[in-house]
Amino acid sequence: MINKQSPNPLWTLGQKIVSPVDKMVSCDISQLSPQDAYKLLIGSIVPRPIALISTINSEGKGNLAPFSFFNGVSSKPLCIMVSITRKADGSKKDSLLNIEATGEFVVNTVAEWMIEPVNYCAGEYPYGVNEMEKVGLTPLISEVVKPNRVKESPIHLECKVHKMVEIGDGAGGSTVIIGEVLRVHVHEKA
């Protein structure tokens, strides 16, 4: 369970807090390179949850990749979002190609004990390589979608595409995928 202890349990309504925030530096995003803008964004949104997304292509070959632009969207319908950026050459990543082809994916949450294989899943592999097999994670058959779940993950969200939104194009552009959660699997000790 999550620790719900307040970091300042003696604080009362209206009481001023002690903050180290002092002087600010302003950045004109239009003056930054796409790489610097990306670094600023990912350094600003912390901690970022990681979605380890499993997909399959139209031939049934699996793919597994981590994405840090991930969060909840709504509770009715229960939806999550993940943003999949383009590769440096502007082409689509394998996960996006697979989601476009099948309309299905699984979000497997990432836990500390999975960090090394998850990092290796982020590597550049040829299309059709099954990263789950490559890194030694264990596939579990999903109940309502075709992509496998990751056994070592504490939470699995079986999803179908609700909506896809293109943001920009080429390198630095992305596709925001809103996925409707059809089935949730939670490790009983989570």
- Report residue 123 as tokens: 């590597």
* % of the chain surpassing 70 pLDDT: 97
What is the per-residue pLDDT across 20-73, written as a single tens digit (0 to 9) for each? 888 888 888 889 888 888 788 878 877 888 999 999 999 999 999 999 999 999
The residue ranking higher by pLDDT, 48 or 161, is 161
**DSSP letters for 48-101:** PP-EEEEEE-TT--EEEEEESSEEEEEETTEEEEEEEEPPTTSPPPHHHHHHHH
Q: Which band of pLDDT confidence, cut at 50, 70 and 90, is reported for residue 190?
A: low
> For residue 116, which amino acid is it?
E
Q: Which tokens sit at 181?
A: 């959660």
pLDDT winner (highest mean) among 35-39, 128-132, 161-165: 161-165
Least confident piece of the model among 44-58, 87-101, 129-143 = 44-58
Q: pLDDT at residue 1 above 50?
A: no
Structure tokens at 34: 């796409």
Six-digit token string for 13: 């309504």
How do beta strands 155-167 and 149-150 pair? unpaired
Buried b (16+ CB within 10 A) or exposed e, 66-99: bbebbeebeeeebbbbbbbbbeeeeebbbbbbbb
What's the pLDDT score for residue 4?
67
16 confidence band (pLDDT: 50, 70, 90): confident
